[in-house]
Amino acid sequence: MEITRYIRRDRMDQEGFCQIHFRVCWNQRKIRFSSGQVVKPDDTIELTESIKDPTTGKKKDRKKLQTKNRKVNRILDTYSDCLHDFFDAFVGIPTEAQVQAEIERIRIDELNLAPKPAPVEEPDPEPEPVRTTTLYEFWPRFAIDHKGLKSDGYLRAFKPVLDHLMKFAPDADFKDITLPFALKFVQYMQATGVTDESAFNPLKKIRCVMKYARKCGIQVPNDFEDFPSYRPLNQREALKWTEIVQLQNVQLPPGLERQRDVFLFQCYCGLRWGDLEHVRPSNLKELMNDDEEITQVLRIVQEKGRKSNLLPMSERALAILNKYDGHLPLIAQQNYNEAIKDFSRRAGLNRKFVKVVYRSGQRFDEEYELWEKLSSHSGRHTFAMLMLELKVDITDVADLMGHGSISTTMIYRTIRGEDKVRVVKNAWDKLPKVDPKLDPDK
């Protein structure tokens, strides 16, 4: 055990006084404490005293800090002597708490000093009230947090849904988004005159936001998992080959002619609108088949699904690319869709067809001319229909289209239905023909 006195020069006050501290070390343990006395460094004296080691019995010299003030020296010696007596009389090895208790005893019993006041714990500051994020404040965060993970077009679709929600229920919050709320919101959307499919679609966006809010630690009703969904009708009108020829032959002004060529290119390769801007000469590759015939292919990573694909280029598709040096003359999608309707009307694509829609649960058969409902996606539908009519294997068609599941490609086969017509006609032809003379109805 060793007791050392030292002054805290790092805590000198304005008058030049420093506190005198003790350091007690024993059995790899250590305690520091203040003697409560102060001294100027110039008023200290270092003495050397000879002591006997109780364990070895040998004498050794040690330095002892003293001051020029006798009263201070008596207090310091009292601490040292009492602590030595404590350790000599203690059986075993004392703990830090036991040594601290002895120091406090010396201060009170031996030096008649008042006990140290218990430290007053400052009360914890009152936490600031947590302001919860409201639904309409959180909604834009979904788009911000998912930027880079989702396409811009996908995230833009959330803005109109928010606008409709705020008009329908300006004060709505997370706790209000329940199943009854969703059903009333659908009725509100139906009252605006949209189809049932358009009225139900916003519920998909609401489900996405509610699910993300729950992952962010916001308490939300679980009703959103039970929101109803709408099963859309598979009505994908596409061009027949004779109608494509009509588009090829129609005379158009230069502006419409360029957009007609872009649309025909979609019909020849099935690319989505978002993938057209990535068509460039460096993406064209030459592949040699088993007959050593070279085929031009377009290597492209499709935006939806991020799937790399090789699209064989027909002579018609290559002719369009060569016409524009490999860069299609694209314009804004909305203007492009308007141009499609314009040049299709000029080409005489006025075939009548019926589109079935539901509004507020009621069926309506709406008749249109073909050009009225054509858009950029119609070129993609046309490509799929043509490939199936030309007996291309449906799995290959699914791969060319970049579909994640072949069930999506099966929709095109169901819509056109030529195979079913052919099978039924062949079945009727196998029946024996009836002689009109033997037919009682003749």
Q: Quick: pLDDT tens for 185-231.
A: 999 999 998 999 999 999 999 999 999 999 999 999 998 999 988 88
Mean confidence (pLDDT) of the chain? 85
Q: Which residues contact 91 (CB under 8 A, 6 or more apart)?
A: none
Q: How confident is the model at residue 316 (pLDDT cuts 50, 70, 90)?
A: very high
Residue 13 is predicted with a pLDDT of 87
The C-alpha atoms of residue 357 and residue 196 are separated, in whole angstroms, by 8
The b/e string for 56-88 (b: 16+ C-beta within 10 A; e otherwise) is: eeeeeeeebbbbeeeebbebbeebbebbeebbe
Q: Count CB neighbours of 159 within 10 A.
A: 12
DSSP annotation of 307: E
Q: What are phi and psi of 5, to 5 degrees?
A: -105, 145
CA angle 29, 35, 41 (to 5 degrees): 105
Amino acid identity for residue 254 in this structure: P
% residues pLDDT > 70 (the chain): 88
- State the Cα–Cα distance between residues 163 and 143, nearest whole angstrom: 15
Residue 432's pLDDT is: 72
**pLDDT band, residue 435 (cuts 50/70/90):** low
Q: What angle do CA 410, 411, 416 make, to 5 degrees?
A: 100
Is residue 12 a contact partner of residue 18, using CB atoms and an 8 Å limit? yes
Q: Is the pLDDT of residue 91 over 90?
A: no
Per-residue pLDDT, 188? 94
pLDDT at 52: 65
Q: Report whether pLDDT(420) > 70.
A: no
pTM over the 0.75 mark: no
* Pair type for strands 29-39 and 18-26: antiparallel
Q: What is the mean pLDDT of residues 284-294?
A: 75
Confidence label for 436 from pLDDT (cuts 50, 70 and 90): low
- The pLDDT score that the predictor gives to residue 287 is 81
Confidence class of residue 149 from pLDDT cuts 50, 70 and 90? confident
pLDDT band at 92 (very low <50, low <70, confident <90, very high): confident
For the segment 77-104, the average pLDDT, to the nearest whole number, is 88
Amino acid letter at 421? V
21 SS3 class: strand
